[in-house]
Amino acid sequence: MSAPLALTAETLHVGTTVCYRFRHGSSLGTVVDRTDRTITLLGPACDGRFTHDQIDTLLSEGVLTVVLTERQYLPTETLRAKRLTRGGR
């Protein structure tokens, strides 16, 4: 039997959906920015910028998990702004 796959910050790219668990609940969010040092998550109840080391810790502790979906979980204002920049309503 093989060992489970360990995820790291290298796994997360712009558009990746994640579930962030916090003290009083959890929230789905989307990776919206990635640099050589940080990863930014944004969601209805999830808004944060973390270093790659912090992301590695959150993933290893199960606080952050990757969600396999094509849907992006962003705040309503962000979705509205994205639609307007694409010419939608």
Residue 4, in any domain of the structure? no
Residue 50, in any domain of the structure? yes
Residue 81, in any domain of the structure? yes
Instruction: Work out how many domains the chain is built from and give that number.
Output: 1
Q: What is the pLDDT along the chain (89 residues), one digit of tens a residue?
A: 566 678 999 999 999 999 999 888 999 999 999 999 999 999 888 889 999 999 999 999 999 999 988 777 776 665 545 544 444 44
The DSSP element (H or E) to which 82 belongs, if any, is: helix 76-85
Residue 2, in any domain of the structure? no
The CATH number linked to 40 is 2.30.30
pLDDT score, position 73: 74
**What is the Cα–Cα distance from 76 to 82, expressed in whole angstroms?**
10
pLDDT score, position 1: 59
Residue 44, in any domain of the structure? yes
Sign of CA pseudo-dihedral 72, 33, 47, 52: positive
